[in-house]
């Protein structure tokens, strides 16, 4: 039997790089049998434009929009009430949600988890109960999907799903690599691993990984309690308005800064990225004199879009010569 393979989409910054858009483009290609979410919970907000309609999902993988088997993997945490609300929301658009499956060993977010997370002032969490749920998972006091009666019809085990027949999987990440609990700016991180290792912890083995698609914006954003961007710059205000940089889950204004190339290169190296997609060039193009980026602690700038693109591409290729690069606008 031929083995299953998996292509992976991961954000290389702090979330909101446009992974939802890229995962959706890939899922619509007809190439995949199954889309898997491998980490995170309702803290994620994936914005997808489909047939002129804006669709925001939090937990359900984008395969549902294409009639493809869609799995909430065991690396995720689930708020059952919110999940059913999201399924109803998607059914309202006419999508068939019977393609959804849930790993029997995924963990459940309880009201206590949400109440506790809602008291957070230190990290600036999304208050969705994420951290307390992962804590209880590791403390071995958590509740799993297989313990919840309403979830019985959806349950799957990841071993038979992945290894009993040959399938093509798309693994869709949540958050971004720099929110990773181990490699991010701890404690200003989310409570799960967000990189390629997290995919393997959903039952894939290393030989099954084919492409790792990294996604970035051509500038940086961050939502949370940390003072991220220190200097005031009117161009950041413009970028926020034009790029609609407000949290998809919480509506909070995202802090804006220039692209940090060292961060992006490190994330590509740590995740074995084979292809990097640079998003939202059309947004940066609408702000005057904004072709700036940080590298080695210094601010660099290009005169125009063309030289920005070629500088960025050259710098990244210095470190990762065989990487495939693609530059895109916001909606296409
Ligand atoms: P939590 O994941 O809700 O515990 O929040 C921890 C940190 O991660 C906070 O700074 C959140 O704003 C951030 N965060 C969590 N999920 C996302 C996301 O999907 N996009 C961007 N930031 C996120
Ligand atoms: Mg998001």
Residue pLDDT, tens place only, 102-138: 999 999 999 999 999 999 999 999 999 999 999 999 9
Task: Describe the crossing of helices 130-138 and 111-118 by its angle, rounded to 10 degrees.
Answer: 120
Q: What is the pLDDT of residue 6?
A: 98
Residue nearest to atom 9 of ligand 1 (CA): 125
Known catalytic residue: 7?
no
331, pLDDT greater than 70: no
Average pLDDT over residues 199-205: 98
Residue 332 pLDDT more than 70? no
* Protein residue with its CA nearest to atom 11 in ligand 1: 125
Task: Find the residues whose C-beta lies inside 6 A of ligand 1.
Answer: 15-16, 43-45, 123-126, 128, 130-131, 174-175, 179, 188, 190-191, 223-224
Q: What percent of the chain has pLDDT over 70?
A: 99
Q: For 161, phi and psi rounded to 5 degrees?
A: -60, -45
Looking from the CA of 321 toward its CB, the CA atoms found within 13 Å total 0
Measured CA angle at 21 (ends 323, 114), to 5 deg: 110
Average pLDDT of span 59-81? 97
Q: Is the pLDDT of residue 15 over 70?
A: yes
Q: Catalytic pick from 16, 117, 136, 180?
A: 16
Given a contact cutoff of 8 angstroms between Cβ atoms, the answer to whether 12 and 215 are in contact is yes
pTM for the full model?
0.97
Active site residue 46: yes
Cβ–Cβ < 8 Å for 328, 279: yes
Residues 4-33 have a mean pLDDT of: 96
Pocket test for ligand 1, best of 48, 175, 227 (most atoms within 8 A of CB): 175
Residue nearest to atom 1 of ligand 1 (CA): 125
Closest-CA residue to 47 (of 82, 70, 15): 15
């Amino acid at each position: 039997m031929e083995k299953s393979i998996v292509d992976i989409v991961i954000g290389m910054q702090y979330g909101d790089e446009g992974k939802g858009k890229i995962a959706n483009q890939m899922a619509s290609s007809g190439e995949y049998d199954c889309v898997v979410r491998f980490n995170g919970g309702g803290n994620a907000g994936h914005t997808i434009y489909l047939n002129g309609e804006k669709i925001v999902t939090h937990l359900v993988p984008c395969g549902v929009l294409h009639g493809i088997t869609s799995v909430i993997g065991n690396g995720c945490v689930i708020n059952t009430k919110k999940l059913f609300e999201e399924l109803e929301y998607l059914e309202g658009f006419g999508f068939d949600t019977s393609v959804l499956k849930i790993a029997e060993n995924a963990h459940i977010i309880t009201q206590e988890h949400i109440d506790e997370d809602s008291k957070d002032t230190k990290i600036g969490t999304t208050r969705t109960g994420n951290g307390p749920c992962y804590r209880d998972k590791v403390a071995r006091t958590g509740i799993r999907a297989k313990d919840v009666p309403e979830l019985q019809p959806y349950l799957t085990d990841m071993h038979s799903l992945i290894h009993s027949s040959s399938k093509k999987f798309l693994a869709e990440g949540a958050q971004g690599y720099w929110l990773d609990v181990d490699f991010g700016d701890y404690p200003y991180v989310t409570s799960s691993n967000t990189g390629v290792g997290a995919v393997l912890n959903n039952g894939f083995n290393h030989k099954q990984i084919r492409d790792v698609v990294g996604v970035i914006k051509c500038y940086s954003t961050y939502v949370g309690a940390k003072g991220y961007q220190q200097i005031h710059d009117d161009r950041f205000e413009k970028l926020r308005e034009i790029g609609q940089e407000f949290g998809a889950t919480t509506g909070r204004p995202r802090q804006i800064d220039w692209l940090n190339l060292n961060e992006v290169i490190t994330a590509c190296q740590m995740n074995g990225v084979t292809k990097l997609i640079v998003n939202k060039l059309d947004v940066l193009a609408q702000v005057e004199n904004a072709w700036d980026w940080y590298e080695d602690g210094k601010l660099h700038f290009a005169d125009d879009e063309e030289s920005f693109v070629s500088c960025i591409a050259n710098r990244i290729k210095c470190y990762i010569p065989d990487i495939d690069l693609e530059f895109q606008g916001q909606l296409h």
